[in-house]
Chains A and B, each alone.
Chain A
Amino acid sequence: MLGLTGVLGFLLMWELSSRLGLVDPRFLPPASEVVAALVGDLGLGRFWVAVGQTMQAWAIGLAVSVVLAVVLGFMVGSSGFLRRVTNSTVEFLRPIPSVALIPLAVLLFGVKIESSLMLIIYASFWQIFIQVLYGVADVDNVAMQTAKSYGLNSLARVRHVVFPTALPYLMTGIRLAAAVALILAVTAGLVIGSPGLGREIALAQSGGAISGMYALVLATGLIGVVINLAMRQVERRTLSWHSSVRSEAIA
């Protein structure tokens, strides 16, 4: 309830600062106009096509990086030797900002969806990969020894011991990566001009459709909120099993 008041208060402050001329209304149109523009957008095919393109790049990029990071993460994480050997390389590659790859992506793919995908996959891969490494390293020694002495082969051990331990870490990684992937999906449109909401924002801005631009910015924010909420829901679903098992074991 208080939160709703906060949102309304924010919109009111925005409306007033534009109406009273505290900020030039040409550059910051009143909230009511922007919301009206957003509602207008919702009826346009063009808007939904742009949303679809952004979400498509987001979904494909996230899916590819999850698969890559899980496979490589489990492989590297379960071998002490590989972990030690790759550590320095990982620590070096990880902080490289994904936007450094923008020129390369343009050169390789131009303004196609592939250049968005390249940025998205690079950025979200590390988020998940690192979490999987932590998760696999967190496996309880006793559980592992028990599984071994019960004669579980290595595939079954990964399935029944390593995977459940790493799952919470994996879900954290995916949640972080989902947010990062959206950022890159929009950025690619904005800077490179690959199709999607980012490109629409850049077009609206250079075309002087200021309310339209703010409406699109609001739309990206709302998509971000929806993704965050959905990811949190997915996390709770997949892990309710995990925590319930743990609380039973403690009791």
Chain B
Amino acid sequence: MNALKRFGYAIALPVLLVGLWWAASAGSTSIFVPRPAPLAATFVQTWLGDRILSDVLPSMGRLLAGVLAAILLGVSGGLLIGSVRWLRELTEPVLEFFRAIPPPVLVPVLMLLVGITDSMKVAVIVSGCVWPVLLNTIEGVRAIDAVLSDSARTYGITGRARVRYLVLPSAGPQIMAGIRQCLSIGLILMVISEMFASSSGLGFTIVQFQRSFAIPEMWSGIVILGLIGVAMSFIFQWTERRVLRWYHGLREVENAA
């Protein structure tokens, strides 16, 4: 009964909205207004054929490569900078500046430096995504509990073991917060880099539809970007709950007390 009720709450508003949309657009003949049933048909026809191989998967591959590289760079750089005090003070203003640059601005810059290639698009994603991970890791490493840190030192836990059992877990929640921002920036940059300079990929295809006034196809492109965003957010939340299970459990205990 309880699960049924929750399901009802989750499904009620979306059903209502789609119903309204259906009713409102039923008599419409304007090509600008999408209608649910034709939109679904266009979606299947446009994206589930050859395009999934020629546009969707390559885009996703670049996104994945860029995000993974950014996470790796950000976490390792953050561990280093976060644990060395003078390095942190030396680099802080420069890093703050790089974080403040709107990442899409890097697209024309990297187009010049790297050229219009696949690696340019990955470089755009990396150079935009790395900052939130890096800065959050630095913050997380800096905020390690002093007592824990001292205890670890007293027990002779140093080097690799210290990173594995002390630094990474205590910076974990912060790092995950950085990765969450990194994912949404990555998706945005993937689309923009393809809109700006590309002859394939999701961003390019969608802009192409818009320029040739293929309105239903354009709408279906907006839908697929939305679906990718939602899917990424769900995958992230699932992963975060697993990785930080101990942390959420701790928080629950604290809140209950």
Interface on A for B, CB 8 Å cutoff?
2-7, 9-10, 23, 27-28, 84-89, 91-92, 94-104, 106-107, 179, 182-183, 186-187, 190-191, 198, 201-202, 205, 210, 213-214, 217, 220-225, 227-228
B104 near A4 with CB under 8 A, answer no
A225 near B100 with CB under 8 A, answer yes
B90 near A190 with CB under 8 A, answer no
- Which B residues, 94 to 133, have Cβ-Cβ distances below 8 Å to chain A? 94, 96-109, 111-113
Q: Which residue of A lies closest to B92 (CB)?
A: A3
Known: A27-B113, A222-B100, A224-B101. 18 other contacts (CB 8 A): A3-B93, A6-B90, A6-B94, A85-B12, A88-B13, A92-B14, A94-B233, A96-B229, A97-B229, A100-B191, A100-B222, A103-B210, A107-B32, A183-B103, A191-B192, A213-B109, A217-B101, A221-B101
Q: Which residue of B lies closest to A206 (CB)?
A: B108
A85 near B9 with CB under 8 A, answer yes
Can you name 28 A-B residue pairings with CB atoms under 8 Å? A2-B86, A2-B89, A3-B92, A6-B94, A84-B9, A95-B229, A95-B232, A95-B233, A97-B188, A97-B191, A99-B225, A103-B207, A103-B218, A183-B103, A183-B104, A186-B102, A187-B102, A187-B188, A191-B195, A201-B108, A205-B111, A214-B109, A217-B101, A221-B98, A224-B97, A224-B99, A225-B96, A228-B100
B196 contacts the other chain (CB 8 A): yes
* Chain A residues, Cβ within 8 Å of B111: 205
B91 contacts the other chain (CB 8 A): yes
Interface on B for A, CB 8 Å cutoff?
9-14, 17, 32, 86, 89-94, 96-109, 111-113, 184, 187-188, 191-192, 195-196, 203, 206-207, 209-210, 215, 218, 221-222, 225-226, 229-230, 232-233
Interface centre among A3, A86, A99, A191 (most CB of B within 10 A): A99
Known: A99-B192, A221-B97, A228-B100. A6 touches B92 (CB 8 A): yes
B98 near A191 with CB under 8 A, answer no
Known: A85-B9, A97-B191, A205-B111. A103 touches B98 (CB 8 A): no
B90 near A2 with CB under 8 A, answer yes
B107 near A190 with CB under 8 A, answer yes
* Chain A residues, Cβ within 8 Å of B109: 213-214, 217
* Chain B residues, Cβ within 8 Å of A214: 109
Q: Which 8 pairs across A and B sit closest by C-beta, in order of nearness?
A: A224-B100, A103-B210, A100-B225, A95-B233, A221-B101, A96-B226, A95-B229, A88-B10
B108 near A205 with CB under 8 A, answer yes
Q: Which residue of B lies closest to A24 (CB)?
A: B113
A102 to B191, CA, bound (A): 10
B30 CB to nearest A CB, Å: 12
* Chain A residues, Cβ within 8 Å of B98: 221
* Chain A residues, Cβ within 8 Å of B101: 217, 220-221, 224
A85 near B13 with CB under 8 A, answer yes
* Chain B residues, Cβ within 8 Å of A101: 222
A12 CB to nearest B CB, Å: 12
B13 near A4 with CB under 8 A, answer no
Known: A106-B210, A205-B112. A99 touches B188 (CB 8 A): yes
B225 near A88 with CB under 8 A, answer no
A9 to B191, CA, bound (A): 34
A71 to B19, CA, bound (A): 26
A138 to B185, CA, bound (A): 28
* Chain A residues, Cβ within 8 Å of B100: 179, 221-225, 227-228
* Chain B residues, Cβ within 8 Å of A27: 112-113
Q: Which residue of A lies closest to B86 (CB)?
A: A2
* Chain A residues, Cβ within 8 Å of B184: 95, 97
B191 CB to nearest A CB, Å: 5
B218 near A220 with CB under 8 A, answer no
B113 near A23 with CB under 8 A, answer yes
* Chain A residues, Cβ within 8 Å of B207: 102-103
B42 CB to nearest A CB, Å: 14
A200 to B189, CA, bound (A): 19
* Chain A residues, Cβ within 8 Å of B105: 186, 190, 198, 201, 217, 220-221
* Chain B residues, Cβ within 8 Å of A5: 90
B13 near A183 with CB under 8 A, answer no
A27 to B215, CA, bound (A): 38
Q: Which residue of A lies closest to B17 (CB)?
A: A89
A201 to B112, CA, bound (A): 13
